[in-house]
Copies of this chain bind each other. A is one copy, B any other.
């Protein structure tokens, strides 16, 4: 019931890649974890030995139900700490991730459940990512990419998928954050940039930026 930091990082990375890409390969996982393919293979054998993975050599791997459950708990810890850092310790959006990477490996179940309570059982972290509850369940939101938002309909930013320093710096400059209400005025075919309006001011943002912004359409969360 207790896993090493390394095992936890592998499980979490596999979970994320499964969500993003559906299928996970040795090389992609190695890239994500900044390690080598051979090391990944070693760990795959270890994790499948513990029944956390379905693994067939040369054919790939995927999380078992138990492995997924554990991954969700690690993600729960990560996101609750991010919420804490942002909400209580007043860290910026772009500072919380790396600290939460360390905190997430503190394993006391009771600690996390009390932290959850202390924070008021939040459903989303500062990036808008959903926080699994104490049973590992994730709240689903009706969200669409900003690129698909129809013109002249106000929507609310609910998630930002790229969490790099650079991206978050840009968002802060533009005053865009989770909960920001905006509407799309126009698409420019030439470079696929968008004109958007927040409160009274309008400006354009690149396709690259817009790709990473998700909004909830009909209603707030």
Contact = CB atoms under 8 A, between A and B. Distances in A.
* Interface bracket on A: 10 to 19
A108 interface: yes
B107 A91 contact: no
A99 B118 contact: no
A21 interface: no
A118 B85 contact: no
A218 interface: no
A106 B99 CA distance: 8
A138 interface: no
A99 B114 CA distance: 12
Interface string A86-100: 001111000100110
A111 B88 contact: no
B118 A108 contact: no
A99 B111 contact: yes
A147 interface: no
Interface string A53-88: 000000000000000000000000000000001001
Contacts of A110: 91, 95, 99
A102 interface: yes
Nearest to A96: B111
B89 A118 contact: yes
6 contacts: A85-B111, A89-B115, A95-B110, A98-B108, A99-B106, A99-B110
Nearest 8 interchain pairs by C-beta: A89-B114, A102-B106, A99-B108, A99-B111, A89-B118, A103-B106, A88-B118, A89-B115
